[in-house]
């Protein structure tokens, strides 16, 4: 029965040791008496029974062997009374043997009068106490037993406590070279528990498992042992590394002997947990401080208690101000924040709510807010993450705007392409008819002049349509540039040849100045370069009535494989007002002059600007009103190594014209009545014996081709029912070889047909642009018919 206060129940402790705790001194205690003398044994029993101090039962063993067997079978004895002279063992060895086998048992040695010193020695070796036979009565025996049982119980309790707390103890006495460690210290160093005391000088060997205490002792000698406390790392003989806490103490005994002792505690688990915590804290701290998102902790009244650097960056406030102001003062949007705080206060999480605020520098910032409640022992508030999405939003808006712009540019180009087609078709008729009328007999001079005027106006109109189409293509960024070798000098000479007549008409002097260091052979897009120069020189002629025009070319610098060239076109014309110079490169800009109206659309310079800039160059103008203007542009062009690399100049094709009496059959596939008439009349004027069959669309054309034989087909592209591409593809792939091999010339008002060469893909041999130049049309027809004959 447990009724005393000193009973401690502890579970999960091994049996041998639990007994110490369960011992109740008032209850019956089992005593093992190892005594061979029956008289002595009986005396002990009688004395114990007489005593009121202890309640016990005695088991008697008469040999050491028997005693040990009893203990092995049932170790639950509160004390062992051991006679040191037994039949199978005598003297001090008996004790040593016994303690070696049962280190945790509570032994009281019985000695004879003559062996009193042996008893003292036994206590030093680990016995609890000793009694001299014949010298004790019931009181002494029971007091000794009782004291020893209690002391043993306390010791065992201490040992258990050490085991639970992982605290071991150690002591060393340098003067006596003695070193002792507790069971738990053994365990900490990876041993099974032992009760050993060994020579301290052994520890100076680094291989010794307790060498660590040698280090500790040395440290104790250097500093006051009491100050030696702290964490160390050790490695046990089991190879495990452990963290230990060591604390020392020193005591000077009366005989001038100093005892160093202390505790060693295994704190590996705590250390690991601490390290884990430190690592995770460090990790969070790192994320916190390096995060691009503003992160802060705030109280429910909106005070920031902790914030990262990104918060400072986002708000553009100093840390000091952030600590002083409330969230509402920092970010504005008072109602919004009140609502967020109310939500988190109710324990809700707020995720990715978008708001805008004005930062300290008056910049509008868009951001996403995420807030979660934050409660700890002495804090109530919330965590908040703010992601700045201003740039993202801006990029998104730009992307949308770009998509819209792209879409509208595509629509515009489509629209312009179809308008240009719609305009070109009737203009084809006007120009064609004008040509036909001019060829009729009996026109008066006045009539001729009217027709010529009609023709010239139509040509101007056609130029405008072409320019508009070109601008649309450029603005859509669809232009591709060639990179072929060309002769710059030849290009300039041709330009002069074309322009010289106009200049002569106006009596303007002309000069071409090419600096000596300008390379003759270059690589690039010569057609585009020509177009730019043609535009600038054309303007110079148009806006100059007298004086001179100078085209200049100079080298700015040259590096391996390329040359930076500057072109200039200088005139002595009407000049441009200073405030208008910037505007002239914009589309449809023309400067009004009071007295004269110059023809033009205001597109030429805009086209030139695009063409230069697409090639990485710059175009600009300098001018003085009434004195003249100079237009400049620069380009970086690749250099061609030598003239040899140039492709042999294409020999101008000398086309043999078919004789005017030549008789052949032509199929004209065209839906527009006016154009049918123009083509028919133009061709019949050229060839008296031509037989022209007209088909209004591709389908009719295929029918006609199946029934009749033709020498050539003139095919419009845009037609109802079956267009020119489809029809040609059908002819080439589905019809008999004689028909499939007929020459087919595309006729189109789409100016860019020559660029995309789509007509070739569909199997057409060549194209003529509407409105057609009669001579071009005659040349192409002659070329293909002659080729077919040979
Ligand atoms: P266009 O000549 O067809 O009107 P441009 O785009 O080529 O269109 O020129 C735009 C305007 O710039 C012209 O209308 C004219 O007012 C002015 N300009 C261009 N070149 C000259 C020049 N050499 N001298 C005076 N004014 C010029």
Atom of ligand 1 nearest to the CA of 589: 10
The best mutation among 549, 603, 604, 633 to test binding of ligand 1, ranked by most ligand atoms within 8 Å of the C-beta, falls on 604
Residue 410's pLDDT is 76
- The CA distances from residue 553 to 417, 537, 608, in Å, are 36, 13, 17
Per-residue pLDDT for 442 more than 90? no
Atom of ligand 1 nearest to the CA of 593: 16
The best mutation among 543, 550, 575, 629 to test binding of ligand 1, ranked by most ligand atoms within 8 Å of the C-beta, falls on 543
Output b/e per residue, 639-650; b: 16+ Cβ within 10 A: bbeeeeebeeee
Ligand 1 atom 19, closest CA: 539
DSSP H helices in 569-636: 604-614
Atom of ligand 1 nearest to the CA of 574: 25
Q: Residues with beta carbon inside 6 Å of ligand 1? A: 539-540, 543, 571, 573-574, 576, 584, 589-591, 600-606, 629
Per-residue pLDDT for 478 more than 70? no
Assigned token pair, 78? 């509160």
pLDDT band at 21 (very low <50, low <70, confident <90, very high): very low
Provide mean pLDDT across the span 543-548.
92
Ligand 1 atom 2, closest CA: 600
Residue 595's pLDDT is 67
Atom of ligand 1 nearest to the CA of 575: 25
**C-alpha of residue 488 to centroid of ligand 1, in Å:** 25
Residue 56's pLDDT is 83
Per-residue pLDDT for 20 more than 60? no
Per-residue pLDDT for 540 more than 60? yes
Residue 161's pLDDT is 86
Share of the chain above pLDDT 70, in %: 90
Residue 694's pLDDT is 93
Provide mean pLDDT across the span 704-725.
89
Residue 2's pLDDT is 37
SS3 (DSSP) at 463: helix
Rounded to the nearest 5°, which phi and psi values hold at 158?
Answer: -60, -45
The candidate with the shortest Cα–Cα distance to 635, out of 555, 540, 559, is 555
**C-alpha of residue 462 to centroid of ligand 1, in Å:** 19
Residue 637's pLDDT is 93
**C-alpha of residue 454 to centroid of ligand 1, in Å:** 25
Residue 10's pLDDT is 30
Per-residue pLDDT for 665 more than 90? yes
Pairing outcome for strands 744-748 and 712-716? parallel
pLDDT 10s digits, 666-684: 999 998 888 888 889 889 9
Ligand 1 atom 23, closest CA: 540
The best mutation among 471, 539, 571 to test binding of ligand 1, ranked by most ligand atoms within 8 Å of the C-beta, falls on 539
Assigned token pair, 698? 């591709």
User: Which residues are 321's β-sheet partners?
Assistant: none
On average, the pLDDT of the chain sits at 84
Ligand 1 atom 21, closest CA: 539
Atom of ligand 1 nearest to the CA of 467: 3
**C-alpha of residue 557 to centroid of ligand 1, in Å:** 30
**C-alpha of residue 601 to centroid of ligand 1, in Å:** 9
Residue 521's pLDDT is 92
pLDDT 10s digits, 164-179: 888 988 888 888 888 8
**C-alpha of residue 155 to centroid of ligand 1, in Å:** 114
pLDDT 10s digits, 100-117: 788 778 889 888 877 778
If one compares 74 and 710, the residue with the highest pLDDT of the two is 710
**C-alpha of residue 611 to centroid of ligand 1, in Å:** 16
Residue 527's pLDDT is 81
The best mutation among 605, 611, 612, 625 to test binding of ligand 1, ranked by most ligand atoms within 8 Å of the C-beta, falls on 605
pLDDT 10s digits, 294-311: 999 999 999 999 999 999
Residue 4's pLDDT is 36
**C-alpha of residue 590 to centroid of ligand 1, in Å:** 6
**C-alpha of residue 25 to centroid of ligand 1, in Å:** 124
**C-alpha of residue 428 to centroid of ligand 1, in Å:** 28
pLDDT 10s digits, 724-752: 888 998 988 888 888 888 999 988 766 55
**C-alpha of residue 621 to centroid of ligand 1, in Å:** 11
Atom of ligand 1 nearest to the CA of 540: 23
- The CA distances from residue 340 to 251, 300, 325, 350, 664, in Å, are 65, 10, 17, 7, 89
Per-residue pLDDT for 201 more than 80? no
Residue 32's pLDDT is 92
Atom of ligand 1 nearest to the CA of 600: 3
pLDDT 10s digits, 251-297: 887 778 888 889 999 999 988 998 888 888 888 888 888 999 999 99
Ligand 1 atom 13, closest CA: 590
Provide mean pLDDT across the span 521-550.
91
**Which are the contacts of 476, defined by CB distance < 8 A and separation ≥ 6?**
409, 410, 412, 413
Rounded to the nearest 5°, which phi and psi values hold at 541?
Answer: -65, -45
**C-alpha of residue 487 to centroid of ligand 1, in Å:** 28
pLDDT band at 653 (very low <50, low <70, confident <90, very high): low
**C-alpha of residue 518 to centroid of ligand 1, in Å:** 28
Residue 1's pLDDT is 37
| CB under 8 A, 24+ apart: contacts of 67-70 | 67/32, 67/34, 67/98, 68/98, 68/101, 68/102, 70/32
Residue 195's pLDDT is 55
Residue 678's pLDDT is 85
Atom of ligand 1 nearest to the CA of 590: 14
Largest Cα–Cα distance of the chain, in whole Å?
Answer: 176
The candidate with the shortest Cα–Cα distance to 636, out of 525, 474, 537, is 525
Residue 658's pLDDT is 82
pLDDT 10s digits, 550-561: 999 999 998 888
**C-alpha of residue 622 to centroid of ligand 1, in Å:** 13
Ligand 1 atom 8, closest CA: 602
Provide mean pLDDT across the span 344-348.
93
Residue 143's pLDDT is 87
**C-alpha of residue 206 to centroid of ligand 1, in Å:** 99
Provide mean pLDDT across the span 433-457.
84
Residue 172, burial from CB neighbour count under 10 angstroms (0-12, 13-18, 19+): buried
Q: What is the pTM of this model?
A: 0.44
Least confident of 81-85, 181-185, 409-413, 577-581: 409-413
Residue 571's pLDDT is 96
Residue 230, burial from CB neighbour count under 10 angstroms (0-12, 13-18, 19+): exposed
Per-residue pLDDT for 476 more than 70? no
**Which are the contacts of 108, defined by CB distance < 8 A and separation ≥ 6?**
79, 80, 81, 82, 127, 128, 129, 130, 131, 144, 145, 148
Residue 203, burial from CB neighbour count under 10 angstroms (0-12, 13-18, 19+): buried
């Amino acid at each position: 029965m447990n009724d005393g206060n000193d009973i401690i129940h502890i579970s999960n402790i091994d049996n041998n040791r639990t007994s110490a705790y369960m011992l109740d001194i008032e209850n019956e205690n089992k005593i093992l008496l190892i005594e061979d003398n029956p008289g002595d044994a009986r005396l002990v029993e009688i004395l114990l029974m007489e005593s009121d101090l202890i309640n016990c039962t005695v088991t008697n063993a008469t040999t050491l062997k028997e005693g040990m067997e009893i203990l092995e079978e049932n170790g639950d004895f509160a004390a062992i009374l051991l006679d040191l002279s037994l039949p199978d063992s005598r003297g001090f060895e008996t004790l040593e043997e016994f303690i070696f086998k049962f280190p945790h048992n509570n032994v009281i040695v019985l000695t004879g009068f003559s062996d009193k010193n042996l008893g003292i020695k036994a206590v030093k070796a680990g016995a609890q106490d000793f009694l001299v036979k014949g010298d004790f009565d019931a009181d002494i025996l029971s007091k000794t037993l009782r004291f020893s049982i209690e002391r043993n119980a306390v010791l065992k309790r201490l040992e258990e406590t050490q085991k639970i707390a992982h605290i071991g103890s150690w002591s060393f006495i340098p003067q006596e070279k003695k070193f002792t460690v507790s069971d738990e210290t053994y365990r900490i160093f990876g041993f099974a528990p032992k009760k050993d005391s060994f020579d301290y000088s052994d520890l100076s060997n680094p291989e010794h498992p307790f060498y660590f205490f040698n280090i500790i002792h040395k440290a104790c000698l250097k500093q006051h042992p009491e100050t030696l406390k702290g964490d160390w790392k050790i490695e046990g003989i089991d190879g495990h590394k452990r963290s230990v806490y060591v604390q020392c103490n020193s005591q000077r005994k009366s005989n001038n002997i100093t005892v160093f002792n202390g505790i060693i505690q295994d704190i590996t688990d705590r250390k690991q947990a601490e390290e884990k915590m430190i690592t995770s804290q460090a990790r969070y701290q790192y994320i916190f401080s390096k995060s691009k998102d503003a992160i802060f902790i705030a109280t429910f009244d909106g005070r920031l208690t902790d914030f990262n650097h990104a918060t400072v960056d986002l708000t553009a406030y100093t840390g000091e101000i952030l600590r002083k102001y409330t969230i509402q003062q920092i970010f504005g949007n008072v109602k919004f924040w009140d609502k967020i705080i109310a939500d988190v206060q109710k324990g809700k999480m707020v995720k990715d709510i978008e708001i805008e605020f004005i930062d300290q520098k008056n910049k509008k910032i868009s951001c996403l807010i995420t807030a979660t409640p934050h409660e700890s022992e002495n804090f109530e508030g919330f965590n908040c993450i703010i992601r700045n999405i201003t740039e993202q939003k801006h990029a998104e808006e730009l992307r949308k705007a770009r998509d819209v712009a792209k879409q509208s540019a595509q629509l515009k180009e489509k629209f312009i392409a179809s308008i240009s087609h719609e305009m070109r078709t009737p203009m084809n008729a006007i120009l064609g008819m004008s040509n036909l009328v001019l060829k009729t007999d009996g026109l008066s001079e006045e009539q001729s002049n009217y027709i010529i005027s009609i023709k010239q106006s139509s040509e101007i109109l056609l130029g405008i349509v072409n320019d508009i189409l070109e601008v649309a293509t450029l603005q859509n960024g669809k232009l591709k540039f060639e990179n072929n070798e060309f002769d710059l000098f030849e290009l300039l000479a041709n330009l002069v040849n074309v322009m010289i007549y106009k200049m002569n008409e106006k009596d303007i002097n002309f000069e071409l100045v090419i600096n000596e260091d300008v390379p003759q052979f270059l690589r690039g897009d010569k057609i585009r370069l020509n177009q730019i120069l043609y535009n600038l020189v054309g303007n110079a002629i148009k806006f100059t009535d007298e004086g001179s025009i100078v085209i200049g070319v100079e080298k700015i610098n040259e590096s391996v494989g390329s040359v930076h060239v500057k072109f200039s076109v200088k005139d002595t014309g009407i000049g441009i007002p200073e405030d208008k110079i910037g505007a002239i490169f914009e589309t449809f800009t023309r400067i009004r002059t009071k007295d004269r109206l110059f023809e033009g659309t205001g597109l030429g310079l805009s086209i030139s600007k695009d063409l230069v800039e697409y090639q990485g160059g710059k175009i600009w103008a300098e001018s003085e009103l009434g004195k003249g203007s100079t237009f400049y542009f620069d380009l970086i062009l690749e250099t061609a190594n030598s003239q040899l690399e140039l492709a042999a100049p294409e020999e101008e094709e000398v086309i043999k014209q078919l004789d005017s009496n030549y008789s052949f059959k032509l199929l004209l596939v065209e839906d527009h009545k006016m154009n049918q008439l123009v083509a028919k009349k133009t061709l019949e004027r050229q060839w008296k014996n031509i037989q022209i069959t007209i088909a209004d669309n591709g389908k009719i054309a295929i029918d006609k081709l199946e029934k009749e034989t033709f020498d050539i087909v003139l095919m419009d592209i845009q037609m109802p029912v079956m267009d020119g591409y489809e029809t040609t593809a059908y002819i080439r792939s589905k019809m008999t070889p004689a028909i499939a091999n007929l020459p087919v010339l595309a006729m189109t008002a789409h100016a860019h047909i020559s660029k995309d060469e789509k007509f070739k893909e569909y199997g057409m041999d060549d194209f003529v642009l509407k409105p057609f130049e009669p001579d071009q049309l005659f040349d192409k027809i002659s070329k293909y018919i002659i080729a077919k004959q040979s």
